[in-house]
Amino acid sequence: MGKLTVIQDYDLYTVSDHETWAELCKRHSELQTNYISKAYTDGYKKLSLDQDAIVKIDEISKLLKSLSGWTLSPVTGLIPTKDFFFMLINKVYPINIYIRKKSEIDFSEQPDIFHDVCGHLPLLTNLKFTKFLTAFSIIALKYVNNERAIEFLGRLYWYTYEMGVLKEGGEYKPYGGAIITSSEEVANVKNKNIPKHDFDLDHIFKTSYNPFKLQNEYFVINTFDELFCCLENLEAKLIEYLLLPEPDYTLRNYTLSGSIGRTFNNVIGFLNDVQYKFPDAISFVAGQPDENFFDIENHLSKFHTFVNHLAETTGNTERTVINNIGQYNRTKGIVNDILAKYLRNDENIIVTGEDILITVGAQEAFAISVSTICNRNKDVILIEDPSYIGLSSFAKVFNYDIEGVSIDEEGID
């Protein structure tokens, strides 16, 4: 454990770091008035945390020790699972010394001192909760070398310690640290459309999660005793789940079209299978946009701005413009002038809207350019190898000669 502990060199924090802490605390105290569980706010008051400057870990550690017997250990980054549970069993809680940057004020992917201190320490003053945490850690440490067991136990940990919700006075109030340190997640709990399930081990073991997105569901307890009681059956339930056959992760062998060569079938089949069986896998497929960056609702909210723009530039009424948008329209696109402006301002490319042809993705662009430029009987299309599969597949389906040109660090060979 000694090797994991670092020194919180307080002088290394900048003025900006302390300002970030103060801003986070200000937002946090506004949230606490109504939306967070009493179990948490009671503990928070006991800690009397400095609201203006980053806390000194050794000072809170002493206070926490007098309140509940727990002490704190300054660390950096995520520490290995085994060490983490070993620390918890010994009533030592790791606190990251890092503080997020101002640009990450709403969400920090890295654990930081604000999350660890404000998210987790208040409940470490609650003896019923720490009883659960210690007993859970003792069980978890036994299974720490079993990846599947840790996955199931990780779900219980996630839906309690990080994303736990208590029912207080008929209302859903979070006690989990990851909810409490995110105003968006607190609002998500209040959203009536987000399901709140009764606490149930079976259900939790079957429910995976994504730590980088707002949650789709929560599990609700009525008291911390309920958490402790579930531990009685935890190992039996865990073994029951470990005995289940492993999920089938075999990739299917399906093909798309006889016109496309074998290699291409395998590539597309493989990519489709990965996406189907591993929905959380990060896709590096060229041309496959990352859904995390979709912002459809925001785009829709700009619809009337676009309508006003068209009404101004065409002299038509708003109604006519909207009707025209719904009608068959210019096949080369209707946002060309805006795109030309963007290309001029951001990319220093000078074109007019009429010079631009908007296609539905790169494949349509290839289809148009290849079929208008290339002579199928005389020309050979040369492409970098490896290259975008959409182009090579198109060329093969429509019987164009295509040859790969190898590339190395120097570029095309």
CB of 86 to Fe ion, least distance (A): 17
Compare residues 117 and 238 and give the one whose CB is closer to Fe ion.
117
What number of other Cβ atoms are within 10 A of residue 221's Cβ? 20
CB nearer to Fe ion: give 86 or 306.
Answer: 86
Q: Which is nearer to Fe ion, 133 or 321 (CB)?
A: 133
Tell me the H-state helices in 220-360. 224-242, 262-277, 296-301, 303-314, 318-326, 336-347
- Of 43 and 177, nearer to Fe ion (C-beta) is 177
CA distance 6 to 88: 17
- Residue 399, sorted as left (phi over 0), alpha (psi -120 to 50) or beta, turns out to be left
| Order of strands, sheet of 401-408, starting from the edge strand that comes earlier in the sequence | 380-385, 401-408, 411-412
d(CA 63, CA 122): 12
Yes or no: say if 133 and 230 are a contact pair by the CB < 8 Å rule.
no
Query: In this structure, which amino acid lies at residue 335?
Result: V
Distances (CA, A) of 34 to 30, 42, 171, 172, 186: 8, 13, 10, 11, 11
CA distances for 120 relative to 41, 92, 139, 398, angstroms: 11, 12, 20, 61
Question: Shortest approach of Fe ion to residue 215 CB, angstroms?
Answer: 14
Chain position whose Cβ is nearest to Fe ion: 177
Residue 44 CB, shortest distance to Fe ion, in Å, is 15
Nearer to Fe ion, 111 or 366 (CB): 111
Q: Which is nearer to Fe ion, 163 or 391 (CB)?
A: 163
* Residue 176, φ and ψ in degrees, nearest 5: -75, 135
CB of 178 to Fe ion, least distance (A): 6
- Compare residues 122 and 177 and give the one whose CB is closer to Fe ion: 177
Name the minimum Å distance from CB 77 to Fe ion.
Answer: 13
Q: Closest distance between Fe ion and the C-beta of residue 216, in Å?
A: 19
Closer CB to Fe ion, residue 164 or residue 177? 177
Structure tokens at 201: 């081990």
Contact footprint for Fe ion (CB under 5 A): 177
* Whether the Cβ atoms of residue 199 and residue 230 lie closer than 8 Å to each other: yes
Closest CB 231 distance from Fe ion, rounded Å: 20
Q: For 243-302, where are the alpha helices, taking DSSP H only? A: 262-277, 296-301
127-142 and 224-242 are packed helices; what angle lies between their axes, rounded to 10 degrees?
Answer: 10
Tell me how far apart the alpha carbons of residues 106 and 181 are, in angstroms, rounded to a whole number: 9
For residue 147, the minimal CB distance to Fe ion (Å) is 21
Q: Which is nearer to Fe ion, 74 or 177 (CB)?
A: 177
